[in-house]
Chain A
Amino acid sequence: MASLNTPSSARSTTSTLTSRQPSFVVYVLRQLVRRPLSLVGTLIVALFIFLAIAGPFIAPYDYDEFIRDAEGRRLTRVAPSLQHPFGIDKDSRDVFSRVLWGTREMITLPGIATGLAVLLGTTIGLAIGYRGGWIDEVASRILDSLLSIPALILALVMLGTVGPSRIGIVIVVVLLYTPIVARVVRSATLSLRDAGYVEIARLRGESTFYILFREILPGVLPALAVETALRFSYAIFLIASLGFLGLGVQPPSPDWGRMVQEARGEYAQAAWSLWFPSGAIALLVIGVNLLADGLRRAFRYEGELR
Chain B
Amino acid sequence: MNVDAITVDRIEASEHPVILADSVSIDYRIKKRWLNVIHGVTLSLKPMEIHGLVGESGSGKSTLALALMRYMAANARISDGRILFNGEDLLTRSDEEMRRLWGTQMNLVPQDPLAALNPSYTIGNQMTELIRKNGHSEARHATERAVDMLRQVKIADPEIIVERYPHQLSGGMRQRVMIAMALSTHPRLLVLDEPTTALDVTTQAVILDLFRELVRDTTTNPNGGAALYVSHDLGTVAQLCDTVTVLYAGEVMESAPVVSLYKKPLHPYTAGLLASLPRHIEGTETRLPTIEGVAPSLAERPNACVFSARCPVALPHCKAEKPPLDLTPDGRMVRCWRWAEIATGTLSLQTEPTRQELPEVIEGTAESIDYAHVLKAQHMSKTFREPSLFGRLLRRSDEGVHAVDDVSLKVNARSTFGLVGESGSGKTTLARLIVALEQADSGEIELVGMKISRDLRRRPKEALRELRMIFQNPDSALNPYMTVGQSLGRPLRVLEEGRISQADLDARVADLLSAVRLPTDYADRYPSELSGGEKQRVAIARAFAINPALVVADEPTSSLDVSVQAVVLNLLKDLRAARGASYLLISHDLDVVSYLADWIAVMYLGQIVEEGTTADVYGIPSHPYTEALISAIPVPDPTVKGKPIRLEGEVPSARHIPTGCRFHTRCPRKIGTICEQQEPSWQDAGDGHRIRCHIPLDELVVLQSQTQPQRETP
Contacts and interface: CB of A to CB of B under 8 A. Distances in A.
Interface of A: 1-2, 4-7, 10, 12, 14-17, 20-21, 132-134, 137-138, 195-197, 199-206, 215, 218-219, 305-306
B480 A204 contact: no
A215 B478 CA distance: 10
Interface in B419-464: 435-437, 456, 459, 461, 464
A7 B387 CA distance: 36
A5 B467 CA distance: 30
Interface string B496-519: 000000000010000000000000
Contacts of A7: 481
B413 to A, nearest CB: 21
A196 B529 contact: no
Contacts of A218: 479-481
Given A2-B528, A204-B494, A197 B389 contact: no
Given A137-B389, A200-B477, 9 more contacts: A12-B486, A197-B477, A197-B478, A200-B471, A202-B456, A203-B435, A203-B469, A204-B494, A219-B481
Given A5-B527, A6-B526, A133-B387, A203 B437 contact: yes
Nearest to B491: A204
A185 B616 CA distance: 52
Contact of A10 (B483, B491, B529): B483
A5 B481 contact: yes
B371 to A, nearest CB: 21
A12 B524 contact: yes
28 contacts: A4-B528, A5-B527, A7-B481, A10-B481, A10-B483, A12-B485, A14-B506, A21-B526, A21-B529, A132-B387, A196-B476, A196-B477, A197-B477, A199-B437, A200-B469, A200-B471, A202-B456, A203-B464, A203-B467, A204-B464, A204-B491, A205-B456, A205-B494, A215-B479, A219-B481, A305-B480, A305-B528, A306-B475
Given A195-B476, A197-B479, A206 B494 contact: yes
B524 A14 contact: yes
A205 B495 contact: yes
A contact patch SS? loop
Given A204-B494, A305-B528, A199 B471 contact: yes
Contacts of A137: 388-390
Contact of B389 (A134, A201, A203, A206): A134
A205 B459 contact: yes
A15 B484 CA distance: 12
A204 B481 CA distance: 18
A195 B527 CA distance: 14
Contacts of B42: none
Given A197-B476, A219-B480, A17 B528 contact: no
A117 B286 CA distance: 60
A134 to B, nearest CB: 5
Contact of A200 (B467, B523, B542): B542
A10 B490 CA distance: 14
Interface in B368-392: 387-390
* Candidate in A4, A12, A305 with the most chain B CB atoms within 10 angstroms: A12
* Candidate in A21, A137, A197, A202 with the most chain B CB atoms within 10 angstroms: A197
A208 to B, nearest CB: 10
Contacts of B389: 134, 137-138
Contacts of A138: 389
Nearest to B493: A204
Contacts of A2: 528-529
A10 B482 contact: yes
B687 interface: no
A279 B461 CA distance: 62
B639 interface: no
Interface in B337-394: 387-390
A12 B505 CA distance: 14
A134 B391 CA distance: 11
B255 interface: no
A15 B529 CA distance: 15
B468 A203 contact: yes
Contact of A205 (B464, B483, B539): B464
Contacts of A204: 464, 490-491, 494-495
